[in-house]
Amino acid sequence: MNPSVVIVDDHELFRAGVRSELAEHVEVVGDATGVDTAVPAILAAEPDVVLLDVHMPGGGGVEVIRQVAKVRPEQRFLALSVSDAPDDVIAVIRAGARGYVTKSISSAELADAVRRVADGDAVFSPRLAGFVLDAFAGSLPATQVDPELDQLTAREREVLQHIARGYMYKEIALRLGISAKTVEAHVSAVLRKLQLSNRHELSRWAVQRRLVD
Amino acid sequence: MATAAPSAERTPPKRRRWRGSRRIAVGVALLVLAFLLALRQLGLLFPDAIVWPTMLAAAGVALIWRQWGGRSRPAAPPTTVPPADVAGQEQRAAVRNLYRGGFGVALIVGAGLLFLYANGALSGLGDVALTALVAIAALGLILAPFWWRLANTLAAERAERIRSQERAEVAAHLHDSVLQTLALVQQRASDPKTVATLARRQERELRDWLRGRPPTAERESFAAALDAVAEAVEEAHGVRIDVVAVGDHALDERAEALVAATREALTNAAKFAGEAGPVSVYAEASPQRVQVFVRDRGPGFRLDGVPADRRGVRESIVGRMARHGGSATVHTAPGQGTEVELVLEDGRGE
């Protein structure tokens, strides 16, 4: 069965494009153009996945996630944006989105990402994987580290590097000799760390880090 | 942009002038002191009660004169400055002059008081001094809100000016870049490939600009040089190249060789696998180690099936990396795409 989707985006053209391109793969049960219309639309339709634009008038995707989560904490979000500024990406993930893809994604990939999020998995684009590796780079003093949350395991790092190199989950599983389910488990673990870790890089690494040392 | 540059250049001389007047005041004071001490050495006895107040007064006089001299100068070359800017400058200069003049006056008054006090003339004037002090304090309290408001107005004006300059700069930039590209896109609407290339180029350029990366960065930063190379290959072959870079490294000779090898690998990928989808570049850089992966989704090939005269991979990639103490590995198999892995570790070959 195709997952049900609500599209939240303030660009009319984009909403129409997603509707027509994903028609075969998902069932679009609603759409909205801004924060105030999105929250009631999502709560009324109770979709499997909300495709959520990060930048919108009235607080953006982060605000939508925050308000919906109060009433319907199990709602799954896939963030979608033209921006690739690391602070935007990290903010929406930390608010609770289960994945982040850029709008340049192909419709096949987008359909796949929606299905994945509907199944409860995390979706990392190569660029998001790069941001995460960057944010978790460098070692912290041992006293400040919560190894459960503040550091990636060698395996998680390896999986993220493969995502950044452009491999699909299936290909990664093949290359690392593990099952696709295990790859997904690693990515979900990274998502959890990304949402819960207190590493200060995650909140304010963004701008400085993109500059030359 | 033309408006931003002159005002930025003009600030330092102003500050220099202020620092200059301080120096001149101190210099004049020291000269007077030296003169008086020399006279005393010659036998003309001046008591301390004259020497020190005179010195203070000299410094104050120097400050005040300096300020009047400074005011008669032309403020700045006015041609390129918008009117609001000139007004703000003058207003701020006026405040600064007031401060400077006030300091000079304070020095002279202080000198006078010191002189009177040293000569015992103030002993009966304690009450008067107290009265004066209270009067001055009251005046200060009355004037404080005025000063406060003046300072706030100046700050607000300055912020507004900066905002309008930035708006002008953004408008100029968008005009030169995005609007031009949109015009081109409309002209070439019938040629999807060109339109896609134009859009990609504009997107890269705009993202760089939004990120605030200076245009010179690609001569200093490995990550920026990598972006530039990807952009060049993308443009030459009309293939989409996605670059993800983690960390950065100085663009020394070896890193440059790595960038050149990456360019070669990208060109190969674009030529032989460009139809099959975007090419992915992943770079991970730390001061000790730089690693680049170039991956395409093409048909792949058998390594041992490559003819010996194909110099692209052998010479430009493997050979170049080896010469700079690095290594290059090609992972491929028919039907699985191709990935070129380039590694450079520091401490080798240096």
Closest by CA to A102, choosing from A86, A118, A123, A79, is: A79
For residue B246, give the nearest of A85, A137, A212 by CB distance.
Answer: A137
HEC readout, A47-80: CCEEEEECCCCCCHHHHHHHHHHHHCCCCEEEEE
d(CA B111, CA B105): 10
Put simply, the chain A residues between 111 and 130 with a CB less than 8 A from any chain B CB are: 126-127, 129-130
Q: How far is B157 from chain A (nearest CA, A)?
A: 28
Position A98 scores a pLDDT of 92
Using CB atoms, pick whichever of B207, B284, B295 lies closest to residue A166: B295
| CB contacts, 8 Å: A211 with chain B | 212-213
Determine which of A88, A125, A176, A211 to mutate to test the interface with B (most B C-beta atoms within 10 Å). A211
**In which residue ranges of chain B is pLDDT below 50?**
1-14, 70-84, 348-350
Please state, in angstroms and rounded to a whole number, the distance separating the CA atoms of residues B200 and A136. 30
Return all residues near B181 (Cβ < 8 A) that are at least 6 apart.
Answer: B198, B199, B201, B202
Confidence at A44, pLDDT banded by 50, 70, 90? very high
B282, closest residue in chain A (CA to CA): A165
Angle made by CA atoms B303, B304, B305, in degrees to the nearest 5: 90
Q: Which residues of B touch A206 (CB under 8 A)?
A: none
Which structure tokens are listed for B192? 């999807």
Cβ of A133 and B280 within 8 Å?
no
Q: How confident is the model at residue A202 (pLDDT cuts 50, 70, 90)?
A: low
- Sort strands B279-285 and A123-124 into parallel, antiparallel or unpaired: unpaired
Are A166 and B245 within 8 A, CB to CB? no
Chain A contact for B217, CB < 8 A? yes
- Tell me the helices (H) and strands (E) count for chain A, helix number first: 12, 6
Structure tokens at A81: 């944006």
The alpha-carbon gap from A40 to the nearest alpha carbon of chain B, in Å, equals 34
Residue with tokens 């921006």: A83
**Is residue A193 predicted with pLDDT exceeding 60?**
yes
Distance in angstroms (rounded) separating the CA atoms of residues A26 and A21: 10
Q: What confidence tens digit (pLDDT) does each residue in B112-134 have?
A: 777 777 776 666 666 777 788 88
Joined tokens for residue B224: 């920026």
Question: Which among B210, B248, B339 has CB closest to A212?
Answer: B248
Give CA–CA dist B229/B344, Å, rounded.
18
Supply the DSSP symbol for B313.
I
Rounded Cα distance between B326 and B329, Å, is 10
pLDDT in tens, B26-47: 888 888 888 888 887 777 766 7
Percent of chain A with pLDDT over 90: 30
Pull the structure tokens for residue B262: 């990456």
Per-residue pLDDT, B37:
80
pLDDT of residue A12: 84
A chain contacts of residue B339, beta-carbon cutoff 8 Å:
165
* ipTM > 0.85 for the complex: no
In chain A, residues with a C-beta closer than 8 Å to the C-beta of B217 are: 212
Q: Do B284 and A133 touch (CB under 8 A)?
A: yes
Q: What is the pLDDT of residue A142?
A: 56
Question: Does A15 or B41 have the greater pLDDT score?
Answer: A15
| Cα atoms in the Cβ-side hemisphere of radius 13 Å centred on A172 | 24
d(CA B317, CA B333): 19
A154-164 helix and A180-196 helix, angle to the nearest 10 degrees: 100
Of the candidates A105, A96, A84, the residue with the CA atom closest to the CA atom of residue A50 = A96
Counting Cα atoms < 13 Å in the Cβ hemisphere of A88 gives: 20
**For residue range A62-104, what is the model confidence (pLDDT) as tens digits?**
889 989 999 999 999 999 887 777 777 888 888 889 999 888 7
CA–CA separation, A161 vs A158, rounded Å?
Answer: 5
Answer with the residue of higher pLDDT: A123 or A139: A123
Identify the residue among B282, B290, B329, B342 best suited for mutation to test binding to A, counting A beta carbons within 10 A and taking the highest: B282
Q: What is the rounded CA–CA span in Å between residue B85 and residue B165?
A: 10
Pick from B217, B247, B293: CB nearest A165: B293
- Cα distance from A131 to chain B (closest Cα, Å)? 7
Region A127-141: what's the mean pLDDT?
Answer: 79
Comparing alpha-carbon positions, the chain A residue that sits nearest to B245 is: A130
Of A130, A161, A212, the CB nearest to B245: A130
